[in-house]
Amino acid sequence: MNHIEFKRALTKVVEEIRDDRELYYVYQANIAMAFKDAYARNKKRSKNLRDIHEIANIAAKNFLNLWISK
């Protein structure tokens, strides 16, 4: 898939998420769970709220990996 095809496909995904409340909620729930899971796995080593940035990035990576996995 070239850059233009990818951009079209991603635009379509974004439009569908924007226009479909249920699909939007599914993505919201998946992002929230990725964050919750990352937080739960990492909170024991977290001693302050500054660590939330690192945990949020772990959650984002978890979500993306779940989203793009085959």
Amino acid at 16: E
Separation of alpha carbons 20 and 37, rounded Å: 26
Quick: pLDDT tens for 26-40: 888 888 888 888 878
Structure tokens at 12: 């379509």
User: Could you tell me the pLDDT band of residue 64, with boundaries at 50, 70 and 90?
Assistant: confident
Closest residue by Cα to residue 29 from 11, 19, 17: 17
Give the per-residue pLDDT at 9. Answer: 94
Closest residue by Cα to residue 67 from 17, 22, 18, 3: 17
CB 24 within 8 A of CB 18: yes
How large is the average pLDDT for residues 57-69?
A: 79
Separation of alpha carbons 68 and 39, rounded Å: 21
